[in-house]
Amino acid sequence: MSNSESLRTKNLKEPKPESALKRVLKPIKGQLILASMLAMLGTILMFIPLGGIVYIAEAALGKISSEHVWPVFIGSVLSLFIGLILNTFAEYYIHAADNNLTHHLRLSTIKRLSLVPLGWFTNRASGDVKRAMQDDVGMLHDLTAHFFTTIARAFGVIVISAIYLFMMNWKLALVTFIPFIAFFMLYGKAFKAGGEFMDDFFVGMSKIDNAVVEFVGGIPVVKTFGSGEVHRGFRNAVDDFALAFLKLTSAVSKGVATANSIVSPLTVLGFILACGILFIELGWIVPFDVVPFVLVAPGICAPILMITFITHGLRNATGSAERLHSLMTTPLLTQPETLASQPENSELSFNRVSYGYNAGNKILNNVSLTLPEGSVTAVVGASGAGKSTLARLALRFFDPDSGNITLGGIDLKNYPSHELYQRVGFVLQEVRLVHASIKENIALGKKDATQEEIENAAKAANIHERVMTLPRGYDSVIGEDAQLSGGEEQRVSIARATLLNPPILVLDEATASVDAESEAIIQEALSRFAKGRTLLVIAHRLDTIMNADNIVVLEEGEIIESGKHEELLASSGRYAALWQLGGFQDLSESTASLNDKESAND
Comparison of 399 and 488: residue with beta carbon closer to ligand ADP: 399
The burial class, CB within 10 Å (0-12 / 13-18 / 19+), for 71 is exposed
Alpha-carbon distance of 80 to 587, in angstroms, equals: 82
Site membership for ligand ADP, residue 122 (CB under 6 A): yes
From the CB of 586, what's the least distance to ligand ADP, in Å?
12
Among residues 104, 597, 2, 94, the alpha carbon closest in space to that of 324 is found at 104
Query: Can residue 386 be called a binding residue for ligand ADP (CB under 6 A)?
Result: yes
CB of 558 to ligand ADP, least distance (A): 12
Helix count and strand count (H, E) for the chain: 26, 10
Cβ 386 to ligand ADP, closest distance in Å? 4
For ligand ADP, the closer CB: 166 or 357: 357
Q: Does 400 bind ligand ADP (CB under 6 A)?
A: no
Smallest distance, ligand ADP to C-beta of residue 379, A: 8
Of these, 27, 384, 403, 473, which contacts ligand ADP (CB under 6 A)?
A: 384
CA–CA distance, 431 with 452 (Å, rounded to integer)? 24
The reply to whether 202 sits near ligand ADP by the rule CB under 6 A is no
Q: Which is nearer to ligand ADP, 122 or 365 (CB)?
A: 122
Binding part of the chain for ligand ADP, among 139-147, 290-298, 385-393, 510-518 by CB under 6 A, reads 385-393
Classify 51 as helix, strand or coil. helix
Taking CB under 6 A as the criterion, the residue among 3, 76, 109, 389 binding ligand ADP is 389
Sign of the alpha-carbon dihedral angle for 295, 300, 303, 305: negative
Rounded Cα–Cα distance for residues 115 and 337 (Å) = 12
Nearer Cβ to ligand ADP (298/384): 384
Residues 375, 376, 379, CA angle at the centre, nearest 5°? 135
Report whether 31 contacts 93 (CB < 8 A).
Answer: yes
The CA distance from 118 to 542, in Å, is 30
506 binds ligand ADP, rule: CB under 6 A? no
Rule CB under 6 A: say whether 303 interacts with ligand ADP.
no
| Between 83 and 557, CB nearer to ligand ADP | 557
* In 114-227, alpha helices (H): 118-122, 126-130, 137-142, 148-168, 170-176, 178-217, 219-225
The piece of 171-179, 283-291, 376-384, 462-470 that touches ligand ADP (CB under 6 A) is 376-384
Q: What is the C-alpha separation between 541 and 378, in angstroms, rounded?
A: 10
Q: Using an 8 Å Cβ cutoff, are 436 and 478 in contact?
A: yes
What is the smallest separation between the CB atom of 388 and ligand ADP, expressed in angstroms?
A: 3
Smallest gap from Cβ 384 to ligand ADP, in A, equals 4
The Cα–Cα gap between 191 and 255 comes to 8
CB closer to ligand ADP out of 381 and 408: 381
Q: Which is nearer to ligand ADP, 101 or 364 (CB)?
A: 364
> Smaller CB distance to ligand ADP: residue 382 or 514?
382
Phi–psi pair at 176, nearest 5 degrees: -60, -35
CB nearer to ligand ADP: give 463 or 552.
552
How far apart CA 109 and CA 294 sit, in angstroms, is 52
CB nearer to ligand ADP: give 102 or 330.
Answer: 330
Point out which span in 134-142, 329-337, 383-391, 451-459 binds ligand ADP (CB under 6 A). 383-391
**String of b and e for 520-530 (b: at least 16 CB within 10 Å)?**
ebbbebbeebb
Q: State whether residue 437 is helix, strand or coil.
A: strand
Using CB under 6 A as the binding rule, whether residue 487 contacts ligand ADP is answered as no
Q: Does 123 bind ligand ADP (CB under 6 A)?
A: yes
Our finding on whether 121 is near ligand ADP (CB under 6 A) is no
Is residue 160 a contact point for ligand ADP (CB under 6 A)? no
- Would you say 429 and 508 are in contact if contact means Cβ atoms under 8 Å apart? yes
385 near ligand ADP (CB under 6 A): yes
Residue 348, helix vs strand vs coil: strand
- In whole angstroms, the minimum distance from the beta carbon of 122 to ligand ADP comes to 4
Kindly state the smallest distance separating residue 5's Cβ from ligand ADP, in Å. Answer: 16
Stretch touching ligand ADP by CB under 6 A, among 290-298, 387-395, 415-423, 480-488: 387-395
Binders of ligand ADP among residues 334 to 363 (CB under 6 A) are: 357, 363
Q: Which of 15, 43, 565 is nearest to 300 (CA)?
A: 43
**Residue among 141, 387, 466, 540 that touches ligand ADP (CB under 6 A):** 387
Interaction pattern, residues 203-232, with ligand ADP; x per rule: CB under 6 A: ------------------------------
- Whole-angstrom distance, CA of residue 238 vs CA of residue 220: 21
Element (H, E) at 354: strand 348-355
Q: Which amino acid is at 555?
A: E
Residue closer to ligand ADP, measured from CB, 236 or 383 = 383
Q: Which stretch binds ligand ADP (CB under 6 A): 279-287, 377-385, 426-434, 486-494?
A: 377-385
Q: With contacts defined by CB under 6 A, how many residues of the chain interact with ligand ADP?
A: 12
Choose the binding region for ligand ADP from 157-165, 384-392, 416-424, 520-528 (rule: CB under 6 A).
384-392
115/418 Cα distance (integer angstroms): 11
CB under 8 A, 24+ apart: contacts of 546-549? 547/376, 548/376, 548/377, 548/378, 549/372, 549/375, 549/376, 549/377
Strand, coil or helix: what is 392? helix
Of positions 370, 383, 483, 485, contacts ligand ADP by CB under 6 A: 383
DSSP 279-311: HHHTTSS-GGGHHHHHHHGGGGHHHHHHHHHHH
Site string for ligand ADP, 79-118 (x = CB under 6 A): ----------------------------------------
What's the min distance (Å) between Cβ of 492 and ligand ADP?
A: 23
Q: Which residues bind ligand ADP (CB under 6 A)?
A: 122-123, 357, 363, 381, 383-389
